[in-house]
Chains A and B, each alone.
Chain A
Amino acid sequence: MSNDGSFAPVVAGSALGAGAPAPVSPRNVAHRGGDPNQSVEPMRQQFGAAVRRVDVVWGETTVVIDPARVHDVIRWLHDDTSQRYDYLSDVTAVEFRDLEQPIEVVWHLRSLPYRRFLRVKAQIDRGAALEVPSVWDIYKGADWLERECYDMFGIRFVGHPDLRRLLMWEQYNEGFPLRKDFPLRGRFSRSEQLRQALAANPEARYSKDELSIADAFEDLPADMRRRLTTGERTGE
């Protein structure tokens, strides 16, 4: 609060510099239309036709890009000094009830220094292989996001180091639950689902890398090391 009573927010840590406008809560935002994100124009110059469509919905920019260029675009958004999208907040997918519509894979990117939000989409045509490049080498946080997306939609993220199911157990073989052709109660009977679930070893679904002791793995007693590597039951 300055002396004359007007509100002067403290702007710290911004790449916009001292003259940056204060962040404001958007008011009277149109449902569709409006100015796209400032990253869109440089992206068009950089990638040309790979940027297929730009939508502005409720003031948020959605860029639909060529699935083959996903990794390049996101790498550029992350590395370019005038973009600096340093936070990947979500990776997910959308399947529409209309079977003609392609499946969309969605990346939610946020640039903390420039205070920008960008939604990147790649549309995978029906009949094409459900594959998109992994961005794990750009954002380590993409690891579990991509695994969950694979678990629920069956989209393969090429380049992911450990693409296993995340929410369902690894032996789960009924399909991908969030796909539109997946019945709500699953494909198998309840007794068969229960039989398969009870046959799973509760410990075996964790790789040793996931256990918190992984760093100290070499220091563990030999028999514990053996049990962890074989996924054998422990604690009996």
Chain B
Amino acid sequence: MGLSPRPDPRFVETSSNEPWITTKLDAFVNWGRKNSLWPMPFGTACCAIEFMATAASKYDLARFGMERQAFSPRQADLLICAGRVPFKLAPVLRRIWQQMPQPKWCISMGACASTGGMFDNYAVVQGIDSIIPVDVYVPGCPPRPEGLLYGIIMLQKKVANEHSGDKSLRNEMEPDPDTQLYIPPSVIDEVSEPFGNSIHQTRSGL
């Protein structure tokens, strides 16, 4: 589907000096999107240190088109939530997600962001997917840079397989106006049980 780096039979010379190309619009747009994901790190804890290691020269996020990190949500495509999110930060994270323009994706980095991790207590959100939709969960405590890169490559594959005809991809999820929740309260209670979240990792697919 995507563009091959090697010479491609679809690449034909029609005249002596004007090359042109045929491809699917989806393939072309997705190719551009997946190779220029601008990440916005939302680092709250030790996962952010591993994120910095990922962005530094040894692992070099720039190889994946992430040279420019956006520290404003308005210029970002990808929210990387690195670290635990306490309830006090929940409305802030929700606000940042709402400030990001479409198309946008989210990676939940580490055990705490994905499930609450070891912080099964009164103060910590049990998985950020109860606040915002998540595309890729990266396990680990904290994940090594290789783990985060693997998650980013998974996300790139997901972006490469999107269809522009599918309008629902770009729909903003509107929370319930009364409760401000995306997911029914009973489901949140269920997956927030101890170990409940770890066996419900597909829930933000809804």
Contact = CB atoms under 8 A, between A and B. Distances in A.
Interface of A: 167-169, 174, 177, 182-186, 189-202
Contacts of B126: 190
A194 B122 contact: no
Contact of B88 (A174, A182, A192, A197): A197
Given A194-B87, A194-B130, A202-B92, A189 B123 contact: no
Interface residues of chain A: helix, strand, loop or mixed (majority)? loop
Contacts of B175: 198
Contacts of A201: 91
Contacts of A183: 122
B131 interface: yes
Interface stretch (B34-42, B52-60, B177-185, B198-206): B177-185
Interface string B100-139: 0000000000000000000011110110001100000000
16 contacts: A168-B123, A174-B122, A177-B123, A183-B122, A186-B122, A190-B126, A191-B181, A191-B192, A192-B185, A193-B87, A194-B90, A195-B181, A198-B91, A198-B179, A199-B91, A202-B95
Contact of B180 (A186, A199, A202): A199
Given A194-B90, A195-B181, A199-B180, 13 more contacts: A184-B120, A184-B122, A191-B179, A191-B188, A191-B189, A193-B122, A194-B87, A194-B130, A197-B88, A198-B94, A198-B131, A198-B181, A202-B91
> Which interface class (under 10, 10 to 19, 20 to 34, 35 or more) fits B?
20 to 34
Given A168-B88, A191-B189, A193-B87, A184 B180 contact: no
A198 B192 contact: no
- Select the residue from A168, A177, A194 with max chain B CB neighbours within 10 A: A194
Contacts of A199: 91, 180
A99 to B, nearest CB: 21
Given A193-B87, A197-B90, A198-B94, A185 B185 contact: no
A197 B121 contact: no
B185 A198 contact: no
B121 A184 contact: yes
A27 B189 CA distance: 54
A194 B125 contact: yes
B171 interface: no
Contacts of B90: 194, 197-198
